[in-house]
Amino acid sequence: MGMSVGGNKKQMDEINVTPLIDVVLVLLIIFMVLTPVTIEKMATNLPPTDDQDVPPPPPDQQPDQLMVAVYQDGTVALNLEPKSDADLLSDVQRRLRSRAKKTVFIDAHPDANYARVVTVMDMVRQAGADKVGFAELKDEGPAALAPVDPAALAPDVPPPPSP
C-alpha cells in the first residue's frame, strides 16, 4: 500500500494513525471507568434554598467556643478563666460531653514553653476533643485573663499574672 516495488524509492508521505487510535481508545476507557468515581466524590453541601423555610439562629445565641490559653509563664486558662491542669481536664470533659462537635482551640503565647503547649494539647485530647485547632499567633499572646477574686480560686490554682 505504502510501499513501492522496484527501483522507484519514494518515501512514505502518510502518518500511521493506528497507534494514535489505540492510545485514544485506551484513554477513553480509562475516563469512562473513572467518571462515576469522580462524580461520587464531588458531593457538595449546599445551603438550604428559600423554599425550605429554615429559621435563622437567634442573634443573641452565640456558639460556646472552648478556648484554652497558654500564657508565657505556663499559666493555663479556659475561656479566660485561670485553671489548674486537673480543673482544666475536668472542665473540658464536662463541657464537651453534651456537644456534637467536640472542637477546642488553643491560643498560646509565642514565648510559651513548647513542651507546656504540647502537654495542654494532650490534656485537651484526653478530655475528649475530636479536633484541636490553634488560634492565630499574635505577638502579644492570648487575651488577658478575666479578673478573678483570688479568694474564690482553689488552693492549687495560681493567681493570674499581673500586667
- The residue that leads in pLDDT, 72 or 138, is 72
Cβ partners under 8 Å of residue 92, min gap 6: 66, 68, 78, 104, 123, 124, 127, 128, 129
Cβ partners under 8 Å of residue 76, min gap 6: 68, 69, 70, 82, 83, 84, 85, 88, 120
Show the domains of the chain with their CATH numbers: 66-147 (3.30.420.270)
Quote the DSSP letter at residue 1. -
Contact 72, 141 (CB under 8 A): yes
pLDDT by residue (tens digit) across 4-49? 555 556 677 888 899 999 999 999 999 888 877 666 665 566 666 6
Between vectors from CA 52 to CA 50 and to CA 54, what angle results, nearest 5°?
90
163: amino acid identity, one letter: P
pLDDT of 144 > 60? The answer is yes
pLDDT by residue (tens digit) across 46-64? 666 666 666 666 555 445 7
